[in-house]
Chains A and B, each alone.
Chain A
Amino acid sequence: MRENVVIRTVVRMAVPFIQLFALYVILHGGSSAGGGFQGGVIFASAFILLGIAFGIDEARQRIQEKAVVIASSLGVYIFAGIGLLCILFGGNFLGYAAIPLPFDPPEVRGLMTEAVEVGIGITVMAVMTSIFYDIASKREEE
């Protein structure tokens, strides 16, 4: 299957659009259908598609296993970090309105919601890719 020109070409063309669509879904969570969980899964599907079409080693070159593990915790850190930032500025945990940005409180809350969605998206993307790597590597060893 790895020699199939049609699959390789279509995947190579489709992956950038899948990733762009995933970023759109993540960043558009506040104003239309979408969000971090859905966008993260779509983003991971691009890497999974690469792994299926080109082999797991090719996908590993695009995003390393170490980077995936770091990213999976980075998303949680972003989320919890924004929550702690609110405490530092004298608000409640995850009370976004406490962060002093030069906007009205609803806009600050909207912006922080988007930032939190980005964190969710990073974690979901990394965890999905990590699980795929683990399962695929196991199959190849046997």
Chain B
Amino acid sequence: MKKWALFAVIVVGALLLWAEGDIPPFGDPEAPAYNHVAPRYIEQGAEETGSVNLVTGILADYRGFDTLGETTVIFTAGIAVLLLLRRGGRL
């Protein structure tokens, strides 16, 4: 069983190392992540979202669904701590 686990780890690690060659270099301006929607956000973000702060515009407007998930994650973490540490059975 342990040998199989080691085998799986080595195979997955080799796959990851093999795929790593296709990642664009760190800070590459030609990377796909910087050329898909980012120029649109930078050029029209302030007019479209009404937020001068571009970070807030992207965080709460363009990527609002993602931020809703983040808030839910924080809420879930609080509830988990509450359930683990507060064992009295009261809210």
Q: Which residues of A contact B52 (CB under 8 A)?
A: 30-32
A16 to chain B, nearest CB (A): 25
CB–CB B48/A109 < 8 A: yes
CB–CB B67/A116 < 8 A: yes
Q: Which residues of A contact B85 (CB under 8 A)?
A: 134-135, 137-138
- A-B pairs with beta carbons under 8 A, tally: 110
CB–CB B51/A110 < 8 A: yes
Interface of B is mostly: helix
Q: Which residues of A contact B77 (CB under 8 A)?
A: 127, 131
**B47-77 interface bits toward A, Cβ cutoff 8 Å, 1 = contact, 0 = none:** 1111111011101110011011011101101
- Say which residue of A35, A69, A83, A123 sits within 8 Å of B82 (CB atoms): A69
Which size class do A's interface residues fall under?
Answer: 35 or more
Q: Which residues of B contact A124 (CB under 8 A)?
A: 71, 74
Q: A106-B47, A117-B56, A124-B71 are in contact. List 5 more A-B contacts (CB 8 A).
A: A30-B50, A76-B72, A117-B60, A127-B78, A137-B85
Q: Which residues of A contact B82 (CB under 8 A)?
A: 69, 130, 134
Q: Which residues of A contact B78 (CB under 8 A)?
A: 72, 126-128, 130-131
Residues of B participating in the A interface, judged by any CB pair closer than 8 Å: 47-53, 55-57, 59-61, 64-65, 67-68, 70-72, 74-75, 77-79, 81-82, 85-86, 91
User: How many Å lie between the Cα of A80 and that of B53 in the bound state?
Assistant: 22
Of residues B56, B71, B75, B85, which shows the largest number of chain A Cβ atoms within 10 Å of its Cβ? B71
CB–CB A113/B75 < 8 A: no
Q: Which residues of B contact A51 (CB under 8 A)?
A: none
User: How many Å lie between the Cα of A138 and that of B86 in the bound state?
Assistant: 8
| A18 within 8 A of partner (CB) | no
Q: Which residues of B contact A130 (CB under 8 A)?
A: 78, 81-82
| A57 within 8 A of partner (CB) | no
B53 to chain A, nearest CB (A): 6
B84 to chain A, nearest CB (A): 8
CB–CB A120/B51 < 8 A: no
Q: Which residues of A contact B70 (CB under 8 A)?
A: 37
Q: Which residues of A contact B91 (CB under 8 A)?
A: 65-66, 69
